[in-house]
Amino acid sequence: MPTEILMPALSPTMEEGTLAKWLVKEGDTVSSGDLLAEIETDKATMEFEAVDEGTIGKILVDGGTEGVKVNTPIAVLLEEGESADDIDTSGGGKGADEKAPTEAEASPATKTPEAGKGGSETPAPQSTGPIPAPKDDKGDRIFASPLARRIAKDKGLDLTQIKGSGPKGRIVKADVLDAKPEAKAAKAEAAPAAAEGAKAMPAGMGADTVLKMYEDREFEEVKLDGMRKTIAARLTEAKQTIPHFYLRRDIKLDALLKFRSQLNKQLEGRGVKLSVNDFIIKASALALQAVPDANAVWAGDRVLKLKPSDVAVAVAIEGGLFTPVLKDADTKSVSALSAEMKDLAARARDRKLAPHEYQGGSFAVSNLGMFGIDNFDAVINPPHGGILAVGAGVKKPVVNDEGEIEVATIMSVTLSVDHRVIDGALGAQLLEQIVQNLENPMVMLA
């Protein structure tokens, strides 16, 4: 039977999006991985790929349509042997979440007209009809494409043990061909209950109330885009649900600045120029390894302690910000981190990051020093355990170890910590390790 192509959720907070344009037309043949459309999410404009092979039988949502809800059918895919005549145009087509009878309910058996009067049931022929949709141990339907179900049946695979890579975990052809069954991911149980809170706009005075307050003043009304709505919701959630506490330290940068200058001279021929922020990322990643209990995230009813140091970095863009994640930052050289950060920042400003590039991490860095900010307190980005707010390096008089006054370049940092994940003493140990790494930069290369 024809398969509906649904509006995908291309980011964790996406509820609806704009179907910017179609890259295929009705009658085109597509394979898994082919580009179907460009979709604008709350974070970026992204390309949507086909997960099954077939022919585009009908386009249900025109290009340029705004406010298309996730899981809304946007097109119909025909399999081999099917035609446009097979498409149900009565408006009764079933989306992924509708309560229509499933194939599993329709296919196992058929009753004779007399069955309701005590007659017997006749088994449906096993060689015809659709393959029943499998269910998990809770009786919930496992979503899989018809082609995937047929291949799984032929290969004797249990679909409940296969992880789907399609939209919303739908099992597609490539998943069953790989034939690598997996147990159900435990991470689903660890999803924070607070995620539901991110879907709603923050509470407060309603628009009518605020408009009335300023009805006699001139103003320009700016419509919120998806990114600004998401930022407002997530930061409100963060400040309302995360018990923040703050740890502050001053860091002497002179040794780092001298070391950085020497490295940049040696790397000039390779076109590499390291920034202070590159060293801050490296110092944070190594500190998370040195204080492993602080390399953790809040997961609703438990804490997840991570093994790798995945550090997110705030990047300001027009109308909002991204936090791309530098994965395994503790294992990479400063020059490699620098190159990766430049690439991620450039694509963030163009809104070209893929979701996996800004999801995850256990810790974040937000640097406003280049704007002349001496110090500030950053808001934790859930589910991270902490975020380091970095101010500008400023020359100040300080007292050295010999009791003499000298001029040094001092950078003020503030570590915002989620007290559910990290206690005060543990947070102090993490910040001390970051300070030691930055004040003794050669240690980071050892």
Known catalytic residues are: 419
Report which of 166, 236, 169 is spatially closest to residue 199, judged by C-alpha positions.
236
Strand-strand pairing, 244-252 and 325-326: unpaired
- Report which residue type is found at 282: K
Distance CA 356, CA 166 (A): 15
Instruction: State how far the alpha carbon of 237 is from the alpha carbons of 132, 190, 432, in Å.
Output: 42, 18, 29
Which amino acid would we find at residue 230?
T
For 389-421, give one letter per residue: b (16+ CB within 10 A) or e: bbbbbeeeeeeeeeeeeeebbbbbbbbbbbeeb
Tell me, what amino acid is at 225? D
**DSSP state, residue 178:** H
Element (H, E) at 59: strand 54-59
347-353 long-range contacts, CB within 8 A, separation 24+: 348/315, 348/317, 348/322, 348/324, 349/315, 349/317, 349/318, 351/43, 351/44, 351/45, 351/317, 352/44, 352/45, 353/43, 353/44, 353/322, 353/324
Q: Exposed (0-12), middle (13-18) or buried (19+): which is 286, by Cβ within 10 Å?
A: buried
What's the DSSP call for residue 378?
P
Rounded to a whole number of angstroms, the distance between the first and last alpha carbons of the chain is 61
383 preceded by cis ω (within 30°)? yes
